Amino acid sequence: MKKSIYIIGMAAMGLMASCSSDSDYQAVAESTINVLSAQTSLGPNASEGEVTVDCTPAKAYTDEPSWLSASIEGSTVKLAALANDSRQSRNAKLVIKKTEADSVIINVSQYGLVFEMNKADMIFSSDEATEFVKAYSSNSDVKITYAPEWAKASVDAVSKELKVSLSENTTGHLRADYIKFQVAAVTDSFVVKQFDFDKDIAGEYVYSYYDFNEDDKLELQTVHATLSRTELSIPKLGLVFPISVNEKTGSVETRSSQCLGKVGKYFIYDTFLDEDGAYYMGTESGVISATFKYSEEYGTYGFFGGTAYNVNNESGNFLAMILQVFKAKSPSMSNYVLDQGLMVQPFLMDIPKGGDASSAKRQAPALVHQMDPSASSMAAKLAVWQSYRKSSIVKLTKKVSNYEIIIYTLPHFAPGSKRHCGDGLQQGIVCQEV
């Protein structure tokens, strides 16, 4: 559905008149036809006009039959114009013939569409019944073509307002739909959404994402998660994402370079990777959000997307999250140890109240397939980065007492991009109990 705002102006009308004058028509040769009246200036809606002459025409036609037709009723030629969905006015020539050699040509004009309305989606972070209006200006009729049962919509042509009344939301989940309207031949819509975050969105979820498996294939991972107004907690991975709620969009947001948790004495941060394989370590300029939707089949769900970074007037579209390990609580190159994993196309799908995570986990592949039927495009974009990761990491293992010490060595640069994070080699050490 188009999300633009229509601001359609009136163009120059050329020759327009509500009755005959010398400028409305031109005689051909020595025509004997006299125009008695002419209604030839038509509005942008499907419109009718007419021209009356002092004889019974033998023939009448226009040079723009695709939108303007003519028919004869006695001494009157009836005009029928289709709705003009353009911002430009348009003109046609009406030819009236008494005989083949005796005719008159009359100009017919139709106004272009003028319509202006704030098309911003109407989102209410409350389940209470409410009402709102959208003012508009137009030279054409506006009519509602669709509204859900819980959002009664009407048009007040006198005050030029579109009025919507929302009933109380007692569904137990968020609800959203379109209000669709038509102006002349133009159709458009805006979203209306109603929810209470604490009652309808916060709760237990399955958190899903793609990562490469041992065969270098992208594989969907699913883990249990808990969402609140302030955090997205994933206990199995030991991660807590700081979260903020955007009440205006009904979405949750998180930033890059946030401390998500610890592995032993090491700190885990999220660094965002863009579609070109570029990332900036240590910047919080990346922002991704998940705007929640609801369906009977999948419940409440939301896919994360947004901006990977915005640095030095350069930005990139979010593709994946890199979980990076640092030896201090500062995501700098000097503290960098290694990349722990990827989270590609992360999304949330709620676990129904009283249900268990297993059913949601089973549905997750179907939901992501519906949103993005193929992971091949993601795999292609990540191929260079993944190749770099596998070929550049040298792993050495030593056992000391009850701990396995894994030493990684890798070069410092952002694969797939011209942005270098540093030079030389970096050695990191991760200890895990065995």
DSSP 81-145: E----SSS-EEEEEEEEEETTEEEEEEEEEPPP-EEE----EEES--S-EEEEEEEEESS-EEEE
Q: Confidence band (pLDDT; 50, 70, 90) for 72? A: very high
How does residue 385 score in pLDDT terms, banded at 50, 70 and 90? low
Q: How confident is the model at residue 85 (pLDDT cuts 50, 70, 90)?
A: confident
Amino acid at 64: E
Looking only at the bridges linking them, the beta strands covering 76-81 and 68-73 are antiparallel
pLDDT at 394 over 80: no
Beta-carbon count within 10 A of 292 CB: 23
Phi, psi of 215 (to 5 degrees): -95, 15
Query: What pLDDT is recorded for position 380?
Result: 67
Q: Is the domain defined by 25-110 classed in CATH 2.60.40.10?
A: yes
- Decide: 252 and 243 in contact? Cβ < 8 Å: yes
Residue 275 has pLDDT above 50, yes or no: yes
Tell me: pLDDT of 90 over 50.
yes
Confidence of residue 180 (pLDDT cuts 50, 70, 90): very high
Q: How far apart are the first and last CA of the chain?
A: 55
What's the average model confidence in pLDDT over 319-348?
90
186-194 β-sheet, strand order: 122-124, 186-194, 175-183, 142-146
Share of the chain above pLDDT 70, in %: 78
Confidence of residue 152 (pLDDT cuts 50, 70, 90): very high
- pLDDT digit string (tens) for 11-65? 333 333 333 344 455 555 578 999 999 999 998 888 999 999 999 999 999 999 9
- Residue with more model confidence, 400 or 3: 400
Predicted pLDDT at 423 = 32
Distances (CA, A) of 311 to 274, 275, 280, 284, 414: 13, 16, 8, 10, 15
The whole-chain average pLDDT of the chain stands at 81
DSSP 3-state of 284: coil
Compute CA distances 429 → 222, 316, 398, 410, whole Å.
28, 31, 11, 12
Region 145-171: mean pLDDT is: 95
Contact yes or no for 316/308 (Cβ under 8 A): yes
Question: What are the pLDDT digits (tens) for 93-127?
Answer: 999 999 999 999 999 999 998 899 988 899 999 99
367: number of Cβ within 10 Å: 20
C-alpha dihedral, 305 to 210 to 255 to 411, nearest 10° = -120
What's 117-197's CATH class? mainly beta
What single letter denotes the amino acid at residue 192? Answer: V
Residue with token string 């799908």: 349
pLDDT in tens, 361-373: 888 888 877 766 5
Q: Please say if the pLDDT value at position 185 is more than 70.
A: yes
Same CATH topology for 25-110 and 117-197?
yes
Please state the rounded mean pLDDT for residues 385-403: 50
**Which tens digit of pLDDT belongs to each residue from 186-237?**
889 999 999 999 999 999 999 999 888 777 778 889 999 999 999 999 999 9
Q: Can you tell me the distance from the alpha carbon of 378 to that of 275, in angstroms, rounded to the nearest whole number? A: 9
Is residue 238 predicted with pLDDT exceeding 70?
A: yes
Per-residue pLDDT, 272: 93
For position 26, what pLDDT does the model report?
A: 53
The residues spanned by each domain of the chain are 25-110, 117-197, 202-389
